[in-house]
Structure 1
Amino acid sequence: MNESALRRALLVIAIVGLALGVGVWRTGFGSLEADTIWMVATLPVVAALAISILRDFWIGRFGVDAIALVSMSAALLLGQPLAAVVVAIMYAGGTVLEDFARGRAERNLKALTDRSPRVAHRKSTHATETIPIEEVAVGDALMVRAGELLPVDGILLDASASLDESAVTGEPLPVPRSAGDTLRSGTVNAGEAFSMRASALAEQSTYAAIVRMVAAAQTVKAPFIRMADRFALFLLPATLLVSGAAWYISGDPIRALAVLVVATPCPLILAAPVAFIGGVSRAARAGILMKGSAALEALAQVRTAIFDKTGTLTIGGAELIEIEAAPGRNTDHLLRLLASLEQASHHVLADSIIRAARSRQLVLSHPHDVREYRGAGLKGRVENMSIAAGSRALVLADKPLPKWATSGDERYRDEPVLRVFVTLGKHLAGIFTFGDALRPDARDALANLRSAGITRMVMLTGDDGAAAKHVSSGLDLDVIVADAVPADKVATVEAEKATAPTMMVGDGINDAPALAAATVGVAMGARGATASSEAADVIILADRLEPVAEAVRIAQRTRAIALQSIVVGLALSAVAMIAAAMGQITPVAGALLQEGIDVAVILNALRTLGDGRLGRA
Structure 2
Amino acid sequence: MPPSLRSRLNVALLVVALSGLVSGLGLMWASNNELARIAWFVGVVPVLAALLVEIVRSLAKGEVGLDIVAALSMSAALFFGETLAAAVVALMYSGGTFLESFAEGRARREMSQLLSRVPRTATRHRDGKLEEVPLDAIEPSDLLLIRQGDVAAVDGAVESSTAMLDQSALTGESMPVRLGRGQNVMSGSTNAGEAFDLRVTRRASESTYAGIVRLVEAAQASKAPMAELADRYSLLFLLITVILATLAWWFTGDPIRAVAVLVVATPCPLILAVPVALVAGLSRAAQFGVLIKGARPLEALASIRTLVLDKTGTLTDGRPQIVSIDTIESVREEELLFLAASLEQASKHPMAQAIVTSARERGSVLRIPGEVVEVPGEGLEGTVDGRKVVVGGASFVAHRIGSAVPESRILDAGAALVAVAIDGKLAGHITMADALRSGTQGLLAGLRRLGISRIMLATGDRRAVADAITAGLNLDAVHAQMTPDQKVQLILTEREGHAPVMMVGDGVNDAPALAAADVGVAMGARGAAASAEAADVVLLVDHLDRLLPGIEIAQGARRIALQSVAVGIGLSVAGMIAAALGYLTPVQGALLQEAIDVAVILNALRALRIKPHALPTPDIATAS
TM-based fold match above 0.5: yes
Is residue 2:22 matched to residue 1:12?
yes
What is the correspondence of 1:198-347 to structure 2 with a 5 Å cutoff? 223-225=226-228, 228=230, 238-250=240-252, 255-266=257-268, 268-283=270-285, 286-324=288-326, 334-345=336-347, 347=349
How far off is 1:457 after superposition?
A: 0.6
How far off is 1:295 after superposition?
A: 3.6
- Could you tell me whether the CA contact under 8 Å between 1:268 and 1:602 is conserved in 2? no
Task: Show CA shifts across 1:138-183 (max 9, x none).
Answer: 9xxxxxxxxxxxxxxxx9xxxxxxxxxxxxxxxxxxxxxxxxxxxx
1:497 matched to which residue of 2?
495
Once residues 420 and 252 of structure 1 are traced to their aligned partners in structure 2, the CA distance between those partners, rounded to angstroms, is: 90
Shift in alpha-carbon separation, 1:95–1:11, aligned structure 2, 3 A: farther
What is the correspondence of 1:478-489 to structure 2 with a 5 Å cutoff? 478-486=476-484, 488-489=486-487
- Residue number among 472, 475, 483 corresponding to 2:473 in the alignment: 475
Is residue 2:434 matched to residue 1:436?
yes
Task: Show CA shifts across 1:43-73 (max 9, x none).
Answer: 5223421342134425646554334435644
Once residues 356 and 301 of structure 1 are traced to their aligned partners in structure 2, the CA distance between those partners, rounded to angstroms, is: 41
Shift in alpha-carbon separation, 1:63–1:375, aligned structure 2, 3 A: same
Task: Show CA shifts across 1:473-516 (max 9, x none).
Answer: 24231112234444543443333222232222223333344334
- Could you tell me whether the CA contact under 8 Å between 2:414 and 2:465 is conserved in 1? yes
Once residues 353 and 614 of structure 2 are traced to their aligned partners in structure 1, the CA distance between those partners, rounded to angstroms, is: 41
1:159 matched to which residue of 2?
none
Give the secondary structure class of the aligned counterpart of 1:475.
coil
1:556 matched to which residue of 2?
555
Shift in alpha-carbon separation, 1:501–1:398, aligned structure 2, 3 A: same
1:45 matched to which residue of 2?
40
Once residues 577 and 565 of structure 2 are traced to their aligned partners in structure 1, the CA distance between those partners, rounded to angstroms, is: 18
Letter in 2 for 1:598: D
Letter in 1 for 2:92: G
How far off is 1:263 after superposition?
A: 1.8
Letter in 2 for 1:319: Q
- Could you tell me whether the CA contact under 8 Å between 2:415 and 2:433 is conserved in 1? yes
Give the secondary structure class of the aligned counterpart of 2:227.
helix
- Could you tell me whether the CA contact under 8 Å between 2:310 and 2:505 is conserved in 1? yes
Once residues 365 and 551 of structure 1 are traced to their aligned partners in structure 2, the CA distance between those partners, rounded to angstroms, is: 45
- Could you tell me whether the CA contact under 8 Å between 2:302 and 2:558 is conserved in 1? yes
How far off is 1:612 after superposition?
A: 4.4
- Could you tell me whether the CA contact under 8 Å between 1:255 and 1:581 is conserved in 2? yes
Task: Show CA shifts across 1:247-306 (max 9, x none).
Answer: 433566665454234223446424334444444455555544545544444333321111
- Could you tell me whether the CA contact under 8 Å between 2:69 and 2:267 is conserved in 1? yes
- Could you tell me whether the CA contact under 8 Å between 1:254 and 1:587 is conserved in 2? yes
Give the secondary structure class of the aligned counterpart of 2:266.
coil
Shift in alpha-carbon separation, 1:329–1:294, aligned structure 2, 3 A: same
Once residues 5 and 487 of structure 1 are traced to their aligned partners in structure 2, the CA distance between those partners, rounded to angstroms, is: 47
Q: Which runs of 5+ in 2 are unaligned?
A: 1-10, 58-66, 108-133, 135-148, 150-222, 616-623
- Could you tell me whether the CA contact under 8 Å between 1:444 and 1:546 is conserved in 2? no
Question: TM-score normalised to the size of structure 2?
Answer: 0.63
Give the secondary structure class of the aligned counterpart of 2:456.
strand
- Residue number among 348, 367, 370 corresponding to 1:368 in the alignment: 370
Task: Show CA shifts across 1:451-483 (max 9, x none).
Answer: 221100111234444322321124231112234
Once residues 503 and 567 of structure 1 are traced to their aligned partners in structure 2, the CA distance between those partners, rounded to angstroms, is: 28
Give the secondary structure class of the aligned counterpart of 2:420.
strand
Letter in 1 for 2:22: V
Once residues 73 and 338 of structure 1 are traced to their aligned partners in structure 2, the CA distance between those partners, rounded to angstroms, is: 83
How far off is 1:99 after superposition?
A: 8.8
Shift in alpha-carbon separation, 1:106–1:296, aligned structure 2, 3 A: closer
- Could you tell me whether the CA contact under 8 Å between 2:421 and 2:427 is conserved in 1? yes
Is residue 2:70 matched to residue 1:65?
yes
1:119 matched to which residue of 2?
none
1:508 matched to which residue of 2?
507
Give the secondary structure class of the aligned counterpart of 1:364.
coil
Shift in alpha-carbon separation, 1:57–1:94, aligned structure 2, 3 A: closer
Letter in 2 for 1:12: V
CA RMSD of aligned residues (A): 4.6
Shift in alpha-carbon separation, 1:595–1:579, aligned structure 2, 3 A: same
1:199 matched to which residue of 2?
none
Question: TM-score normalised to the size of structure 1?
Answer: 0.64
Shift in alpha-carbon separation, 1:498–1:38, aligned structure 2, 3 A: same
- Could you tell me whether the CA contact under 8 Å between 1:221 and 1:292 is conserved in 2? no
1:187 matched to which residue of 2?
none
2:573 matched to which residue of 1?
574
Once residues 504 and 53 of structure 2 are traced to their aligned partners in structure 1, the CA distance between those partners, rounded to angstroms, is: 43
How far off is 1:551 after superposition?
A: 4.0
- Could you tell me whether the CA contact under 8 Å between 2:388 and 2:423 is conserved in 1? yes
- Could you tell me whether the CA contact under 8 Å between 1:98 and 1:267 is conserved in 2? no
- Could you tell me whether the CA contact under 8 Å between 1:280 and 1:289 is conserved in 2? yes
Give the secondary structure class of the aligned counterpart of 1:315.
coil
How far off is 1:429 after superposition?
A: 5.5
* Count of paired positions: 481
Task: Show CA shifts across 1:213-233 (max 9, x none).
Answer: xxxxxxx996333x6369668
2:199 matched to which residue of 1?
none
Shift in alpha-carbon separation, 1:69–1:56, aligned structure 2, 3 A: closer
How far off is 1:383 after superposition?
A: 1.4
What is the correspondence of 1:112-261 to structure 2 with a 5 Å cutoff? 223-225=226-228, 228=230, 238-250=240-252, 255-261=257-263
Shift in alpha-carbon separation, 1:322–1:353, aligned structure 2, 3 A: same
Once residues 278 and 376 of structure 1 are traced to their aligned partners in structure 2, the CA distance between those partners, rounded to angstroms, is: 54
How far off is 1:520 after superposition?
A: 3.3
Once residues 38 and 607 of structure 1 are traced to their aligned partners in structure 2, the CA distance between those partners, rounded to angstroms, is: 41
Shift in alpha-carbon separation, 1:522–1:98, aligned structure 2, 3 A: closer
Letter in 1 for 2:440: A
Once residues 46 and 381 of structure 2 are traced to their aligned partners in structure 1, the CA distance between those partners, rounded to angstroms, is: 83
Q: Which runs of 5+ in 1 are unaligned?
A: 22-35, 78-83, 110-137, 139-154, 156-219
